[in-house]
Amino acid sequence: AAWAGGVTALAAPFVLFWYVSGRPDFPALLFGLLGIRTIAHSRRPGWRTGVAAGIWCAMGFLIKQSMVAAPLAIAGYLALRRWYRPLGGFVLAAGATAGMVVAYLLLRGEPVLRDMLLMRHAPAAVRPAIAVVSNALAGGLGLLVVAGGAAGAAMALRGKNSRLLLVAMYAALAALVAMLTLPQVGSNVNYLLEPWMGASALMACALGPAAATWRGIGQPLQGGALVVLIALVGHGWEAIRRVPGPPAYRYQRLAGLRILSTDPTFTVRGRDPELLDPYLADLLENRAGWSAAGVAAEIKQQRFDVIFLTEKGGRISTWHGAPRLSPELAKQVQRFYRPLCRTARVLVMTPKGRPEGF
């Protein structure tokens, strides 16, 4: 059951893609799950157990501030069980760990609190959120995980296993956080990673008691069920295998160049990467009073050796209706750079007045 839950959790295409692309979501998710395991592993957690879980959860929160389902579930579970001593240790350790890191960054002059709250400026967009959920559940595996998670949650509510209740609380809170955060234009499938993992864990818990029924349904039905499960898991892995990955040598020519791009895949290959998320910069410029004057000045001075602009239909591409590059910066690019070449989705531009190429 545990192996089935783990394999299913990692088989979804969006999970594999987000993992191999090196995003911070998985380290944050790992620390939250370590906090859940620390509490669930103890029949009656003590003060030290609460402290250890608090440190794990604080580290996850510091990496990604939306990862609050695990600490909320642990605090609620300990309060529900009236285990106030480990609850005190958990709250104290989580608050102290996060507070010390934030205080250190503030003393260094880092605008850490402002950065943590950046996405409050993102406008709401319900239709893209529905599309994100629909894409994540596509292929059948998502529906299987949702159904298995619901079965595990039902067992947690009916049964006497309080540790299963902790997992159910975590999955439910993760789903709630996802629903609250998905309706903003910057959301993507990574917002579903935590509820997906919680539902997969609940599904694994539900598979254990189902083993007796499994043994009684006969070999033909068992074989059919296994074929369906293997097909769903294989579909996820095959979808990832088909994603084209450019050979590393294609990027070697960009080393040492100053690059501006709406796709960070290009930007990080160059020297001194800047404006790694032009989409977020556009939101801040329009809604939070942030000024792109510094970047505009660099464009005017032709500090960038090459510019890559992702396009759709001959225009700079958008994400959920928001442009990936602000109109002001796009105007400066058109004024001081000229097209070098164009593919189906990328326009390459180099400085005017310089020899073509880079």
pLDDT in tens, 192-237: 888 888 888 887 776 665 555 545 444 444 444 454 555 555 555 5
As a whole number of angstroms, the distance between CA 147 and CA 152 comes to 9
205: tokens are 């818990």
The strand pair at 306-312 and 259-261 is best described as parallel
Reduce the DSSP state of residue 69 to 3 states and report it: helix
In the structure encoding, which two tokens stand for residue 11, read together?
A: 């088989």
| CA distance readout (Å), 324 to 42, 127, 312 | 48, 19, 11
The pLDDT tens digits for 12-66 are 666 666 655 567 888 898 899 999 999 988 888 999 999 999 999 999 999 988 8
* Torsion over CA: 273, 277, 278, 282 (sign): negative
- 72 falls in which pLDDT band (50, 70, 90)? very high
- 342 CB-side CA count, 13 A: 12
Rg (CA), the chain: 24
Q: What is the pTM of this model?
A: 0.72
pLDDT 10s digits, 89-132: 999 999 999 999 999 999 998 888 877 777 776 767 777 778 77
Token code pair at residue 335: 């004024």
Percent of the chain, pLDDT > 90? 22
Phi, psi values for residue 269, rounded to 5°: -80, -15
Give the confidence band of 249 by pLDDT, cuts at 50, 70, 90: very low
List the one residue out of 275, 270, 322, 324 whose CA is nearest residue 296. 275
Exposure of 270 in the CB half-sphere (CA atoms within 13 A): 23
Distance CA 92, CA 90 (A): 6
Q: How far is residue 329's CA from residue 80's CA, in Å, rounded to a whole number? A: 53
In angstroms, rounded to a whole number, what is the distance separating the alpha carbons of residues 275 and 350? 18
Residue 132 has a pLDDT of 78
| Rounded Cα distance, 155 and 209, in Å | 9
Q: Which residues pair with 338 in a beta bridge?
A: 350
